Structure 1
Amino acid sequence: MADESNEKLSREHRPEVIRERLTKPVKENLASDMVLGGIDGCVTTFAVVSGVVGAGFSPIVALVLGFANLLADGFSMAVSNYESIKTQGEFIKSLRDQEQEHIKKIPEGEKEEIRQIFKNKGFSGETLEKIVDTISADQQLWIDTMLIEEHGVQKTHRNPVKAAIATFTSFVLVGSVPLIPFMISGLEQSGQFTFSACLAALMFFSIGALKSRLFAKPVFLAGISTLLTGGVAASLAFLVGYVLREIFGIVAM
């Protein structure tokens, strides 16, 4: 297995393969948006379910509030993600415009910034000056270098529309799963809640496990960690519903 892995790495790092890979545009990674949307969607709906059951309301209330929160919160989260990524893109563009203006007005000062940056990396003498001359000869490369090295941001930004769609889709699909048992009229409410809890637990664990596979992390530990996060949120919602029922004397419906 190790020999196969090393052979694969060697093939992937041949000059012609590297050259081809670097000419392709960087693929956008939507995994974080989908994981975030899925976890939040499942937490949102199962927290509503837990609160409703804890308060002693009927299953239809869980369905109504669950779906209402699912769509409203999913849309809100998608819009928030869209605005966040869009703002980041606008911030990067403002930095790019700023660096372009500085290069135009004070090129020697900007060259000195490049010189100091690479001097701090250990370059000196003729090699350092060649680096400065090479970078400053290409304005696009110059600006990109300043964005990464001085401001610590990437030269590209993500597509906010794709991120928003991924977030909303994952939120709704995963978040609707805990509501399925409440559509089954033949089950008692306790059975519906137990079934819903099992489905929610499965979703939490699956999302954590999927995340671990994407980023080469231990599957079981990642699944349990996500499961505990969702479990704590649901437990708090159930506790709040139960306490408020006792305080206000809510009669089970």
Structure 2
Amino acid sequence: MANLARITRKHMEEEETGGTGELLRQTILGGQDGLVNVLGIVLGVAAATSDARMVLVAGFAAAFAESVSMAAVAYTSTRAEQDHYRRMLAVEKYEMENLPDIEREEIRMIYRKKGFWGKDLERVVKVITGNKKMWLDVMMKEELGLVDVGGIKPKNEALVVGVSSFIGSLLPLLAFLVLPISSAFFAAIAISLVILFAAGMVKGKLTTGKILHDGVEMAV
């Protein structure tokens, strides 16, 4: 019974935190890509010139292009992901209605692989297949590995990624606004590493719990 309660609680928690997790993922993705890509461009220009203005012009141009590109990718990929999810959802609904025994057996196989046997397994199967919404969600997540992002608007996704990418892109430029170009070169690297490490720590705290590990992983 404890295992069954844990499964039900996990299912409810995934529904409640799915949108927040996706928002965090996209924010970090946009910011990280913007920072890293523009940092590379800025360092390349800085190595070739002693004029900080050229570095800043190149950096701002790259930041704008990067944010627009990332926003466009986020929009199209979200639309494609939603379309694919809807198609597979329709397939699973049809199979549940017309081939319930086969779909029920698939649930049994999924939880047998998770270590459930005998009465515990049959109890899990009965509870899940007794709730059509939960049954469908389990099939989509466990069998197909798909997560519902239908509640996320592609335009909002593009906005989040675009803005976070633009902000991330500007961070390496801060050093070139206040320091000589020779010092700003190394300061930009240091600033970027610190920000990436901090973002990784936040991600780790909210997801895996491996704060230091995720911080180092993102920084390097």
Q: Are residues 111 and 211 of structure 1, via their aligned partners in 2, closer, same or farther at CA, if it must alter by over 3 Å?
A: same
Deviations 1:59-116 (A, max 9, x none): 2221111111111111211221222222111111001222334455xx2x33223134
Give the percent of matched residue pairs that are identical in Structure 1 and Structure 2: 23
Task: State TM-score, norm by structure 2.
Answer: 0.73
Residue correspondence of structure 1 range 1-253 to structure 2 within 5 A? 22=12, 26-27=16-17, 28=19, 29=21, 30-56=23-49, 58-103=51-96, 107=98, 109-118=99-108, 121=112, 128=122, 131=125, 135=129, 140-155=133-148, 157=150, 159=152, 160-184=154-178, 187-215=179-207, 216-219=209-212, 221-228=213-220
Q: Could you tell me how far 1:204 is from its partner in structure 2?
A: 2.1
Report if aligned partners of 1:42, 1:203 keep a CA contact under 8 Å in 2.
no
Q: Distance in 2 between matches of 1:119 and 1:226?
A: 37
SS at match of 2:16: coil
Report if aligned partners of 1:180, 1:196 keep a CA contact under 8 Å in 2.
yes
Q: Distance in 2 between matches of 1:116 and 1:148?
A: 13
Q: CA RMSD in A?
A: 3.5
Q: Are residues 165 and 183 of structure 1, via their aligned partners in 2, closer, same or farther at CA, if it must alter by over 3 Å?
A: same
SS at match of 1:176: helix
Code of the residue aligned with 1:154 in structure 2: it is V
How many residue pairs get matched? 203
Code of the residue aligned with 1:192 in structure 2: it is A
Q: Could you tell me how far 1:202 is from its partner in structure 2?
A: 2.3
Q: Could you tell me how far 1:145 is from its partner in structure 2?
A: 4.2
SS at match of 1:83: helix
Q: Distance in 1 between matches of 2:128 and 2:173?
A: 60
Q: Distance in 1 between matches of 2:181 and 2:69?
A: 30
List gaps (5 residues or longer) in structure 2: none
Report if aligned partners of 2:93, 2:136 keep a CA contact under 8 Å in 1.
yes
Q: Distance in 2 between matches of 1:62 and 1:98?
A: 53
Deviations 1:114-142 (A, max 9, x none): 134315625669x849956983x765555
Deviations 1:149-205 (A, max 9, x none): 432323554513333322222222222121123233xx4321232332332232222
Report if aligned partners of 1:92, 1:153 keep a CA contact under 8 Å in 2.
yes
Code of the residue aligned with 1:172 in structure 2: it is F
Q: Distance in 1 between matches of 2:191 and 2:206?
A: 22
Q: Distance in 1 between matches of 2:182 and 2:192?
A: 15
Task: State TM-score, norm by structure 1.
Answer: 0.65
Q: Distance in 2 between matches of 1:172 and 1:70?
A: 6
List gaps (5 residues or longer) in structure 1: 1-14, 229-253
Q: Are residues 211 and 147 of structure 1, via their aligned partners in 2, closer, same or farther at CA, if it must alter by over 3 Å?
A: closer
Report if aligned partners of 1:114, 1:146 keep a CA contact under 8 Å in 2.
no
* Structure number, greater radius of gyration: 1
